[in-house]
Amino acid sequence: MDVEVPSFDTPVVSGSHTEVCVIGAGIAGVSIAHELVRRGADVIVVDDGPIAGGETARTSAHVSNALDDRFHWLESRHGTEAARIAAQSHAAAIDLIEDNAAMIGLDCEFARIDGWLVPASDRDHGELERELAAAIRCGVAVEKLDSPFPFHRGAALRFRDQARFQPVAYVRGLAAAIIAQGGQIHCGLHVDAIEPGRPLGVRLRGGGVIWAKHVVDATNATITSMVRFPIRQAPYRTYVIAIEIAPGSTLDALLWDTADPYHYVRLAGDRLIVGGEDHRTGHGSDPSYHWNALEEWTRQRYPETGEVVARWSGQCMEPADGLAFIGKNPDLEGVYVVTGDSGNGLTHATIGSMIIPALIEGRDHPYAALYDPGRSTLRSVSTIVREALSSNYPYLDWIGRGDVTDPVDIARGEGAVIRRGVHLIAAYRDPHGVLHECSARCPHLSGVVSWNAAEKTWDCPCHGSRFDPLGRVLNPPAVSDLPAAPAHDEKPQPTEPRTPTERRPRHVR
């Protein structure tokens, strides 16, 4: 389903005052804004790209209350009651998506379907038994049945009342409802900072400002906490392919397995959407390797598939204790955050539209304590330490030699990190042969960025900030562009590259 998205490119009036400013026009920000305007609040939504133009457009659109961290794991960290509330909140989110689609009359292809968890190998049947028992304790509608998939014979878990839909169409519909009810949406506006005070000042690139009583940071990784959230969650790239399949040749259901990283599959008309191959952002090998691995995995199990018609990747923020951070930002009064989406970003975003409007109105919410951004994560200290090591190890790149020794080794349309004295340079040669250089230092916490050859981006392997080929920031926690390359006295580089040399792998996970 191809979806046209309105531009919402009308400029905001600098100095505007509003009750709530929502930063981010993905499913989280737009869902929260929709609920706020429905309750009568004055709301301005801003985004530096189009609505649903970030991770919302990159999701595989599994909508599930069968959480990817597993209920038995959540029980071990938080107890049965907390795991039960987690299951309940995601089920409520699916209901709310369905209700919103029906209320607004959205054509977003929403459908209730079953979800199936299948073991990746014969050794994983014990995992199935543990998850079945825990899910039942948490009140989830689940049962163990024979697998309905030809490529897997044996037991599997069926989770009833899961769903699928087209999230970009859904967000477009919510955005139209926001405008119809008096809310504002302004795209093409980059937020540089939130100034504390009463009111809060939302500082825009170019010098403008929006004054707001409350601010919602719905930017996925958050731009309003430099340290707290980056050390409590880890950025992961996840890969997806769309592959042709004959109608009626496979079950219309969600499927995921017990592999680590796991695979996930759903049907979308005459295409099979297959994802997996997750790894820490900036730590993996060439993305083509991961897409090829997904294709091979798919063809082994679905031999009737045809051509791969699309492939993409997205970014998930994995919280150390398995629960998203939704609610008041402990670091900045008047600011609310929704981050830590894990593999359930669509429902986490929708849970945000339940919790945050209630908190803004000064009311409590039954899910608020579970997702409290200020909660202790001591139960998951081992995970935090492990991910911190992964985040800090790339700082050793500061003493490395870079990817190539000479810029002429960089092909057109490609980038590489090069060393120039004490400096590391993010060098990109555009399709016309012109070399563009930035500092390779991420402005968030000074990690060395890596070139992502498939997405044509610079990715920070420390905390997940991403930048376009010319160094413009795409994803937080960084809020500013890559710094300018330090001045040097060397002669200009040739515009025609030599045949690229083999690059040294960096931090292959």
Query: What are 389's two structure tokens?
Result: 């090591």
Taking Cα atoms as reference points, which of 385, 44, 93 lies closest to residue 200? 44
| Residue in the block written with tokens 């600098």 | 14
- Give φ, ψ of 78 to 5 degrees: -125, -10
| Residue in the block written with tokens 């230092």 | 441
Q: DSSP string spanning 210-254? A: EEEEEEEEEEES-SS-SSTTTTTEEEEEEEEEEEE--TTSS-SSE
Query: What are 177's two structure tokens?
Result: 């409802």
What local confidence, expressed as pLDDT, does residue 340 receive? 93
- Give φ, ψ of 6 to 5 degrees: -60, 150
d(CA 209, CA 203): 5
Cα 297-302-308 angle, rounded to 5 deg? 70
Taking Cα atoms as reference points, which of 162, 77, 48, 73 lies closest to residue 116? 162
What local confidence, expressed as pLDDT, does residue 394 receive? 56
Beta-bridged to residue 416, according to DSSP, are 427
pTM here?
Answer: 0.89
What local confidence, expressed as pLDDT, does residue 55 receive? 92
What local confidence, expressed as pLDDT, does residue 440 receive? 95
In sign, the C-alpha dihedral spanning 154, 159, 60, 415 is negative
Q: What is the dihedral of CA 326, 332, 335, 337, to 10 degrees?
A: -30
Residue 255's Cα: distance from chain center in Å? 20
**What are 410-414's contacts with CB under 8 Å, separation 24+?**
410/435, 410/497, 410/500, 411/497, 411/500, 412/497, 413/456, 414/451, 414/453, 414/500
Residues of the chain above pLDDT 70, percent? 89
Low-confidence ranges of the chain (pLDDT < 70): 1-5, 377-401, 488-509
Taking Cα atoms as reference points, which of 280, 495, 497 lies closest to residue 388? 280
Contact residues for 427 (Cβ-Cβ < 8 A; gap 6+): 407, 410, 415, 416, 417, 418, 435, 436, 437
Q: In this structure, are residues 35 and 250 in contact, taking their beta carbons and an 8 Å threshold?
A: no
CA distances to 96, 104, 139, 349, 508 from 169, rounded to whole Å, are 16, 12, 31, 16, 37
d(CA 404, CA 410): 8
- pLDDT tens digits, 345-391: 999 999 999 999 999 999 999 999 999 999 876 655 555 455 445 55
Beta strands in 64-199 (DSSP E): 111-118, 142-146, 155-164, 184-187, 191-195
Burial class (CB in 10 A: 0-12, 13-18, 19+), 104: middle
What local confidence, expressed as pLDDT, does residue 422 receive? 87
CA distances to 13, 17, 146 from 198, rounded to whole Å, are 19, 12, 59
Taking Cα atoms as reference points, which of 154, 132, 156 lies closest to residue 70? 132
Q: What is the dihedral of CA 279, 283, 286, 292, to 10 degrees?
A: -10
Count CA atoms closer than 13 A to 478's CA, side-chain side: 30
Helical axes 345-360 vs 27-38, angle rounded to 10° = 30
What local confidence, expressed as pLDDT, does residue 2 receive? 62
Query: What are 147's two structure tokens?
Result: 């697998």
Verify cis geometry, omega within 30 degrees of 0, for the bond prior to 477.
Answer: yes
Q: What is the dihedral of CA 94, 99, 105, 108, to 10 degrees?
A: 0
Side chain identity at 225, as an amino acid letter?
S
Q: In this structure, are residues 157 and 142 in contact, taking their beta carbons and an 8 Å threshold?
A: yes
d(CA 228, CA 232): 7
Phi-psi region of 277 (alpha: psi -120 to 50; beta: other; left: phi over 0): left
Which helix (H) or strand (E) segment is 348 a member of? Answer: helix 345-360
